[in-house]
Structure 1
Amino acid sequence: MAVPQNKQELLQAISSSYQQLRAELLTVPEERCRERSLQGHVKGTQMSVSDLVAYLIGWNELVLKWSHAKVRGEAVDFPERGFKWNELGALAQKFYADYADLSYSELLTRLQDVYGRIVELVGHCTDQALYGAPWYKTYSQGRMIQFNTASPYANARNRLRQWKKANSLA
């Protein structure tokens, strides 16, 4: 998929990759969703499908947090307070823990909700706001949103499809 260059393309990329991912997530048997048999976000670790969903929720929530802080004129700690860009594995572990108490269906509902809020956020932005100027270092707001929504959705779908195939669930 080409890198989105405007609001409409960004919305299409987010929606398309989310819908494809959701279709895959809905076919995961409930009894397998906590099984730690997917390659984790830290080299040499394993995660569950539930952890993968928690990871996506965590990043999507960060996108919203960054965007709301920027609108209020507040400084943003990228990627998250207490974490540096070279500590993303630890941040992933935090996301797994943050949502560990939710059932698989609750995680899917939470992901659906945060996805909807991302779409709403983008829908309220102009092309100029999304792509007209750097928003974080050299990256536009649209690019940062895409990095943390559409791209991870597509990556998660690929991981999930490989896992399902390896576990005879495809």
Structure 2
Amino acid sequence: MSIPQTRQQLLDAIDSSYQKLASDLVRIPPERAQEKTMEGHAQGSQMSVADLVSYLIGWNELVLKWCERKSQGKPVDFPETGYKWNELGRLARKFYADYSTLDYPALLQQFADVKARITTLVEGETDASLYGESWYEKYPKGRMIQFNTSSPYANARARLRKWLNNLDKE
């Protein structure tokens, strides 16, 4: 998929990659969702499907937080308060822990809800507000949203399909 350059292209990318991923996520038996048998986000680690979904929720929530703080004229700690860009493995583990109390169906609902909030956010933007100027360093707002929604959704789907393929061989 090409890199979105407009609001509509961004919405289409988010929706398309989400729908494909969601159709695979619903195939996971809830009793298998907690098995830490998938390659993790930090090198040499293992995670579960539930962790993968938690990771996506965490990043989507960060996008919403960044946008809200910026719109209020408040400073934003990228990627997150207490974390640097070279500590994303540690941040991933935080996301896993943040949503660890949710059962798998609730986790999928939380993911659907946060994706809907992202969609609403993007729908309220214009091409100019998303792509007309740098928003974080050299990146426009639309690119930062895409980096943390449709791109990781596609990456997660590839991980999940590999995991499902191995599961089918059992």
TM-score where L is the length of structure 2: 0.99
Question: Paired residue for 1:109?
Answer: 109
What does residue 31 of structure 2 align with?
31
Distance 1:95 1:31 in 2: 21
Cα shift at 1:129: 0.4
Q: Residue in 2 aligned with 1:99? A: 99
Structure 1 consecutive aligned stretches of length 4 or more whose deviation exceeds 6 Å: none
Alignment of 1:1-170 (within 5 A): 1-168=1-168
Letter of the 1:11 partner, please give it.
L
Q: Distance in 2 between matches of 1:128 and 1:137?
A: 17
Q: CA RMSD in A?
A: 1.0
Q: Percent identity?
A: 59
SS at match of 2:145: helix
What is the distance in 2 between the residues matched to 1:57 and 1:30? 18
Whole-Å separation in 2 of the counterparts to 1:49 and 1:61? 18
1:114 CA displacement: 0.2
Count of aligned residue pairs for this structure pair = 170
Query: What CA distance in whole angstroms lies between the structure 1 residues aligned with 2:34 and 2:102?
Result: 11
Task: Specify every segment of 5 or more residues in structure 1 that has no aligned partner in the other structure, as ranges.
Answer: none
- Return the TM-score normalized by structure 1: 0.99
Give secondary structure in 2 for the equivalent of 1:135.
Answer: strand
Paired amino acid for 1:146: Q
